[in-house]
Amino acid sequence: MQFVNPFFLIALGTLVIPVLIHLFNFRKFKKVYFTNVRFLQEIQQETKKQSQLRQLLILAARLLAIAALVFAFAQPYLPASRQQKRITGQRAVSVYLDNSFSMESVSADGKLFDLARAKALEIVSAYSPSDLFMLVTNDFEGRHQRFVSSEEFTKLVEEVQISAATRNLSEIFNRQSDMIPGAQNMNFDAYAISDFQKTTATLAGARPDSTISWFLVPLSADKKDNLFIDSVYFPSPVHQPEQPARLMVRITNASGNSLEKVPVKLTINSVQKALSSFDIGPGATLELPLSYTENTSGIQYGQVEVTDYPIVYDDKFYFSYPILPSIPVLSINDKESNHFLDALFSGDSAVTYTNSPVNQLDYSRIFSNSLVIVNSPEELSSGLVREINRFVRNGGSLALFPPARGRVDSYNTLTSLLNLTGYTVTDTARQRIAFVNTESEIFSGVFEKNSSGKVVLPDNIDLPMVNKYYRIPADMPNREEVLLKLQNNQPYLVTAPVEKGKVYLFGSPLDESWSNFPKHMIFVPTLYKIALLSNPAYPLFYTLGDNQTVMVPGDTVSETNLCKLKKLNSAFEIIPEAKRSGSNLELFLHDQVKEAGFYNVAIGQKVNSGLSFNYNRKESDLACYTASELEDQARRQSIKDIHIIKGKKSSLVQEIRQIKQGTPLWKLFIILALVFLGIEIALIRLLK
């Protein structure tokens, strides 16, 4: 037992007074006058021992009553199990109010977010009006980075709304610890009111200050089931006007129940394109294909939707992508164009094909194309090598055919800049192409699959014959992939990613004296798929809160035109920080976009591209830590002064005061003082 005001115990010296009174017995005798003996009262004589016993009992009752009263004024209390000492003086209190989407879950007492706001106000009432308070939310707003009075804190709490921002518990602890310099010479308490989801409530990486008393206030929902759309993707990155397309939708059932016949809807540009349903088991994830026909060219804004309650923010998923009217392809030739390439691309409306002799090439035109074909010029100038290297690294595709005449050194200069394997000697041994990488996206859909869904080429398949070729070393880096291989195991066609672009390295020029590849039927799907896959692959969507750099096409951007980001069907508009990156434009949003949906990038008066933003799915799994699991985490992170407030047996205010002050006993001693006074009165009145 400890005391709030131990100096009051000095008053125990007053116990001497009743002792002195008892010893000296200042009792005054009362005279009784009588005139007649028959009116004499009958007096019972007490023995000396009985009188002494009665006086001692009265003295003991008086002493106990006074002692109990002194103890009551000294305010005794039983310290909490973890409390080392009682802290007095002004306090600085930091309260984290979880305003993430998961707080929309419902308990028996209402929404968790409403309960959290009520708990924050209860915490304030547990402290003195002179104490200072600071609010922390997932938004990390600047206006919350200061200590305020209880009245202003109450107003700030009432203004908090549900937000898309998500934070790990370690980030919250570090944020609250960083506020200590603003509360100098004050005792610091930090509270966290949350549902403590397992996906976010991790203390790994936390740097808790040992001078802070930490309090966790967990809230629990009655229903922790949730169905949500995790992501979407296209198996094939090729999009052509009015052609079939297939979208894969990844759906997760974060619950313990099986769901059947759940409808899912796909709309493109506000027009319904597909409708399906699915069954999903407890805790399972499935990928649902949705097939539809592409629109005409332009920006496609897509939305996939399911229905689920009460967590609804993750029931819609937004994505967007462009369908180009044609693919721009540039062929850099020695002097004349190649008639095989001309026959393949010139008459195709899906391709805008341009020929240019190497000595008449305008280097600025390179970046306006998706695919550049280096069609065997005798030599590549150093300036052209630099521009092609820059073109590839910024997202372009390059098909490189070595020279039929001339030196190959300039080609190896280019491959060296691209960090790729170059050409070596010329081999004149006649070889047939013996291997086709059917697993590659280049040959996806070119060959028929068997009943098991695999492509197995027949042993006697007719593949191109190569009369002579440039050797490409077989010991290539892991990032290089062999698409075609000769009988002697030498690579003939190799592909490799180079930063944002891709390179295709052929072993011979498109010359009939070198091989019959340009006349073979495999030539058409190979070059055509290279062209189709050359369109820059921009993300289908971005995630809010990740602070990603947004990349958009920037080849037509003028320095004088202003770049704006606008939300469709909304007044929201910002001017993001923009930076050129080759033929692209990098946008730095600095977390200014807060709402999921469709956005477009306008440069001047022209819409450049479409973007889609989705809320982070971290909050979608509603599994939460229990109080014991939180204590285990704190123990592993060596956070000693931490308290889990469950608030079931008593109110939050009482539990906080009990933790901070221990169990107060002054009321008990007041009652004891009254009891002992009552005993004294009873002894005097009744024990005659």
Average pLDDT over residues 263-273: 95
The per-residue pLDDT for 80 is: 58
Of the ranges 30-34, 266-270, 373-377, which one carries the lowest mean pLDDT score?
A: 30-34
Please check whether residues 393 and 523 belong to one and the same domain: yes
The closest of 410, 397, 404 to 331, measured between CA atoms, is: 397
The per-residue pLDDT for 10 is: 84
pLDDT digits (tens, 9 = 90+) for 573-622: 999 998 887 667 889 998 899 999 999 999 888 888 999 999 999 889 88
State the CATH number of the domain containing residue 554: 2.60.40
CA distance 644 to 656: 10
Please check whether residues 314 and 237 belong to one and the same domain: yes
244 domain residue, yes or no: yes
Please check whether residues 335 and 480 belong to one and the same domain: yes
For residue 282, pLDDT over 50 is answered with: yes
Average pLDDT over residues 515-522: 94
**DSSP line for 169-196:** HHHHHHHHHHTGGGGTTSEEEEEEEE--
The per-residue pLDDT for 406 is: 72
pLDDT digits (tens, 9 = 90+) for 35-92: 555 554 544 445 666 667 777 888 888 888 888 888 888 877 776 554 444 455 678 8
84 domain residue, yes or no: no
Count of CB atoms situated within 10 Å of the CB of 170: 19
Average pLDDT over residues 403-426: 91
The per-residue pLDDT for 681 is: 84
Please check whether residues 406 and 515 belong to one and the same domain: yes
Please check whether residues 448 and 501 belong to one and the same domain: yes
Tokens 């600025």, located at residue: 364
- Which neighbouring-strand residues pair with 507? none
The per-residue pLDDT for 275 is: 95
For residue 543, pLDDT over 80 is answered with: yes
190 domain residue, yes or no: yes
Of the ranges 19-23, 492-496, 525-529, which one carries the lowest mean pLDDT score?
A: 19-23
CA distance 371 to 107: 57
CA distance 619 to 622: 7
Q: What's the whole-number average pLDDT of the chain?
A: 86
pLDDT digits (tens, 9 = 90+) for 342-380: 999 998 888 999 999 999 999 988 988 999 999 999 999
Please check whether residues 378 and 424 belong to one and the same domain: yes
575 domain residue, yes or no: yes
Rounding to the nearest 10 degrees, give the CA dihedral for residues 490, 496, 502, 508: -10
- pLDDT, greater one: 545 or 385: 385
The per-residue pLDDT for 79 is: 66
- pLDDT, greater one: 211 or 426: 426
Q: Which residues of 398-429 are buried (b: 16+ CB within 10 A; e: fewer)?
A: bbbbbbeeeebebbbbbbebbebbbbeeebee
Question: 479 is in which domain, residue-wise?
Answer: 327-532
Cis peptide before 310 (omega within 30 of 0): yes
For residue 145, pLDDT over 60 is answered with: yes
The closest of 217, 221, 197, 196 to 106, measured between CA atoms, is: 221
The per-residue pLDDT for 32 is: 60
Cα 654-656-660 angle, rounded to 5 deg: 115
The per-residue pLDDT for 383 is: 94
Please check whether residues 151 and 23 belong to one and the same domain: no
% residues pLDDT > 90 (the chain)? 47
How far does CA 68 lie from the centroid of its chain? 58
For residues 262 and 279, the answer to whether their CB atoms sit within 8 Å is yes
427 domain residue, yes or no: yes
Average pLDDT over residues 612-636: 88
% residues pLDDT > 70 (the chain)? 90
pLDDT band at 526, cuts 50/70/90?
very high
The per-residue pLDDT for 381 is: 94
CA distance 165 to 545: 6
First-to-final CA distance of the chain: 39
85 domain residue, yes or no: no
The per-residue pLDDT for 89 is: 64
For residue 560, pLDDT over 60 is answered with: no
CA distance 630 to 203: 9
Please check whether residues 428 and 560 belong to one and the same domain: no
The first and second tokens of residue 257, run together, are 């129940």
Please check whether residues 587 and 643 belong to one and the same domain: no
Last residue of one domain, picked from the residues 532, 560, 583: 532
Length of the chain: 688
pLDDT band at 269, cuts 50/70/90?
very high
CA distance 580 to 395: 13
- pLDDT, greater one: 75 or 560: 75
The first and second tokens of residue 52, run together, are 């002494």
pLDDT band at 248, cuts 50/70/90?
very high
State the CATH number of the domain containing residue 335: 3.40.50.880
CA distance 16 to 10: 12
For residues 329 and 369, the answer to whether their CB atoms sit within 8 Å is yes
199 domain residue, yes or no: yes
How deeply is 594 buried, as exposed, middle or buried, from its count of CB atoms within 10 A (0-12, 13-18, 19+)?
middle
CA distance 248 to 231: 9
Q: What beta strand segments (E) does 534-595 contain?
A: 542-543, 549-553, 563-567, 573-574, 577-581, 584-588
The closest of 76, 74, 62, 66 to 13, measured between CA atoms, is: 66
Please check whether residues 186 and 331 belong to one and the same domain: no
CA distance 41 to 37: 9
Please check whether residues 339 and 211 belong to one and the same domain: no
The per-residue pLDDT for 85 is: 45
Cα separations (Å) of 318 from 230, 273, 287, 445, 596? 11, 14, 16, 28, 8
Last residue of one domain, picked from the residues 532, 555, 575: 532
The per-residue pLDDT for 251 is: 96
State the CATH number of the domain containing residue 246: 2.60.40.10
Angle of helix 666-686 relative to helix 48-74, nearest 10 degrees, comes to 160
537 domain residue, yes or no: no
CA distance 416 to 47: 123
Please check whether residues 193 and 254 belong to one and the same domain: no
Q: In what order do the strands lie in the sheet with 573-574?
A: 542-543, 606-614, 597-603, 563-567, 573-574
State the CATH number of the domain containing residue 151: 3.40.50.410
For residue 498, pLDDT over 70 is answered with: yes
pLDDT band at 185, cuts 50/70/90?
low
For residue 395, pLDDT over 60 is answered with: yes
pTM of the model: 0.75
For residue 134, pLDDT over 60 is answered with: yes
**DSSP line for 118-157:** HHHHHHHHTS-TT-EEEEE-TT--GGGSS-B-HHHHHHHH
Q: How many domains is the chain partitioned into structurally?
A: 5
